[in-house]
Structure 1
């Protein structure tokens, strides 16, 4: 039995709910009366409610995010049916700035902002028999030095099979209007001594994959470099660090430190979003495009970093031609992944101020994606969405990184892949649920018609992709090209890092 249940729906099992662990770590004397129950989107609200009700809690704290908000209302209804007296408390980004009337009505209390300490105060009042007056509570951002760190709450199962989230700072100094991080402008840094001590304990327990939740990991260079030096000193085989970096902030001393890491140890997520200076200014994004290009070239050509770069389609004032030009510019720098995101009107962000001038039309329910604007029709946005999904399945995934590059050895990568994307949609009439071998066959047929390469070159490249993605048995149409692959060893991968393993294998083969 437990008096307090902390719960949420993660997007998939491999993710861990970082926020819930912070809440439990900061419950103080109430922590032993609490339990974390994580679910994923495969569970039904009825199943989740039954599991929660089985411990008969007095308080249920639920994390609400863009990917799970539609299911939370159903979960609360199921909880009410099974345990009417429990206090239902909501928190998280999806209820911190604008909350739907439905969720507000269904819940007992909503905490906006960082609830690490506020939730504990609420629990003490409730379990102490004191009444709760407010329906909504706003939590001021706590100072990191006042927080108990949650890292001991990661289980051995988490360490073995799931991504561990960590952080060295909170907040963002920038004002990009599409981003929720811009709402809280201050940046707060965690004291390094207790933080690094916690990281050391995780390493000693066997943790190897760390994903930093910092929005701007390299903002404070001395702080950033001390963390990186720690992991370099404590390097263990299999270590992998995933950090979100400011794209135009890689001075010489940081470059040298990055180069000191063994290859295939670091992943940098770098948001470009747009190469169009006018569009960037319009959304309050400040960046030096020339310096960004120089930094990306350095990272890709002179380090062993895995490079993931982001672009956003649909920003106010960016046409399809402008976006295509930006995509081609980024593709020429050869990041391992290019994530094409569609603009969303996230609750609390300032992007909505452009709605009238640029005729911005969004979905009214999560994920609040852009449907059309003054420069992009709904049909064009649909094409970009399909492009993004197929690009992710074929190139970002590493499944066909070698063969896919044959599509655009001459001409515009964006235009060539868009042509292929529309051909795929015409054939399958869907974006999801296409078997890998069917995608391979479609790519092979397209390349034999639309590229200047011979079937032998195309087939050999695709067979190599299959083999180095850890799939030594290619489909029948590729078997005649696979004989020369038999002396190679298939590429091993770690849980959650299959994409990276495929891209690294392809890169090693090119050297």
Structure 2
């Protein structure tokens, strides 16, 4: 029996763990094919048909379900049994069985049921005793209950496939230390899982070592609350003592329950940027959090974030969700402003998605939600946020992404926001300036971003404050590049002054003066002259104090 599992990933660097887990835990041979959402349906269908599978499975997620549905309508494989699995089909499967050429849907964890279903079908056995599946029988849809795997340590790990070895250095490795979540946030699919269960930590460590030995650089842990594991510190310590150069380990952390002693330990012993923490704050409105069954101690959360920031060892990413119940525009602005003041490296402003099967989707009428019927099911309004309100937040998010998250202004943008009524108001006003002047927000050069920001500040700040930020932006811009950049400013040409400054630097550094003429850029400020040099993809900064 030829069995093929297909993964359609969001990006090439992503790895589909799900199809690998089904393969290694099957008692029969399974072939895998991976694509990305940029691949055409024609290409995917052609490769599937060339394989001519008896059993064809698709791994379904929010980013690929619309493409999978298109492929199902186009593929025409009457001799193949088609199976869907994954979070996108586990909790709302009936419409797929009714409207698409699908034979079976695997629900929840698939490692055991996949093996049992294919074995039963191939041997003509009765499938009625099986759990975790939905299927159609005599025009009636049969929905069997989801039963979780009690002992995760009975599963084989997906990291040792020989055919993956050559690609490992170019891929993100996804690691599980647990499944399930101790929380029941009504917008999250993890809230539908019954129990929090753990993998053996020594097995996890062995997998990490194997992947590092095969040149994996980026590890992303799939645990919804990594620090719910009592062995959190043990794994952190293992990584600190065994990591390979230039590796990065990313974790989803629940910030208010993170033990400050763990943070202090990492601040003292972890190399800078070895760890990346993603902390979902979502909202600081307590009433809103209560309506989505979210428990959060803001004081502990913020104190822990400040402690993480203290030594700048851990790379920190925070998440917000716009559109949660009873959080109107003013409340969301307050959430945004409170969190932005923490001044983390990256703040992702996301929008509520009405995921199939979640409590908030099932109860959407309570808060009069409207949302897109196709994935990713983003909301368009609710009782407290109009479509215009959401567009206003989207506009702010675009500028936040460009001017904060991408790191082009990392040492100055936070201070600039303080010159406005609030961070939200700054980013929102900046978007309005872009819109009024038809400036591009998708295709641009860093040079253009600086010019646009400077022009915006010039018309919104009083002259002395504008001058202060203009000078800071000059330093930031020149510090950003590794090659001599195109300049947005032009110093008054004074050959004698330049020669005098370069001679001072020759005396200080012992370098030939031609080095500074060839590789240097002179920037003049009130108190100092700065010379930035760019050679061999390396920038160096020199400072000369101006005479009184």
TM-score by length of 2: 0.82
Please give the secondary structure, in 2, of the residue aligned with 1:281: helix
Provide the rounded CA distance (Å) in 2 between the counterparts of 1:227 and 1:57: 41
Aligned to 1:412: 422
Q: CA deviation at 1:490?
A: 5.3
Aligned to 1:140: 147
Provide the rounded CA distance (Å) in 2 between the counterparts of 1:447 and 1:103: 56
Q: CA deviation at 1:374?
A: 1.9
Aligned to 1:16: 15
Provide the rounded CA distance (Å) in 2 between the counterparts of 1:256 and 1:250: 11
Q: CA deviation at 1:273?
A: 0.7
1:441 corresponds to which of 448, 451, 454: 451
Aligned to 1:485: 532
State the Cα RMSD in Å.
2.7
Please give the secondary structure, in 1, of the residue aligned with 2:404: helix
Q: CA 1:48–1:337 in structure 2 vs 1: closer, same or farther (change >3 Å)?
A: same
Give yes or no for contact 1:118–1:139 (8 Å, CA) kept in 2.
Answer: no
Bigger relative CO (Cα 8 Å, ≥ 6 apart): 1
Give yes or no for contact 2:174–2:221 (8 Å, CA) kept in 1.
Answer: yes
Q: CA deviation at 1:426?
A: 3.5
1:58 corresponds to which of 34, 46, 54: 54
Q: Count residues with an aligned counterpart.
A: 485
- CA deviations on 1:225-272 (whole Å, 9 max, x unpaired) are 121121112022212110000111222431233221111111000011
Q: CA 1:95–1:479 in structure 2 vs 1: closer, same or farther (change >3 Å)?
A: farther
Q: CA 1:87–1:356 in structure 2 vs 1: closer, same or farther (change >3 Å)?
A: closer
Q: CA deviation at 1:76?
A: 1.6
2:80 corresponds to which of 70, 86, 89: 86
Please give the secondary structure, in 2, of the residue aligned with 1:356: helix
Q: CA deviation at 1:205?
A: 1.9
2:384 corresponds to which of 369, 375, 380: 375
Aligned to 1:238: 246
Please give the secondary structure, in 1, of the residue aligned with 2:257: coil
Provide the rounded CA distance (Å) in 2 between the counterparts of 1:340 and 1:194: 35
Are 2:202 and 1:193 equivalent residues in the alignment?
Answer: yes
Provide the rounded CA distance (Å) in 1 between the counterparts of 2:10 and 2:478: 28
Aligned to 1:496: none
Q: CA 1:115–1:425 in structure 2 vs 1: closer, same or farther (change >3 Å)?
A: farther
Give yes or no for contact 2:91–2:357 (8 Å, CA) kept in 1.
Answer: yes
1:126 corresponds to which of 104, 111, 121: 121
Please give the secondary structure, in 2, of the residue aligned with 1:151: coil
- The residue correspondences of 1:167-178 to structure 2 (distance < 5 A) are 167-178=176-187
- CA deviations on 1:457-509 (whole Å, 9 max, x unpaired) are 536626634753x56354453576964332588589xxxxxxxxxxxx9xxxx
Provide the rounded CA distance (Å) in 1 between the counterparts of 2:223 and 2:37: 25
Q: CA deviation at 1:440?
A: 3.8
Instruction: Return the index of the structure with the highest Cα Rg.
Output: 2
Provide the rounded CA distance (Å) in 1 between the counterparts of 2:219 and 2:186: 28
- CA deviations on 1:20-52 (whole Å, 9 max, x unpaired) are 111112113x2xx32221111111111101112
Are 2:105 and 1:106 equivalent residues in the alignment?
Answer: no
Provide the rounded CA distance (Å) in 2 between the counterparts of 1:462 and 1:58: 63
Aligned to 1:247: 255
Structure 1 stretches (4+) deviating beyond 6 angstroms?
Answer: none
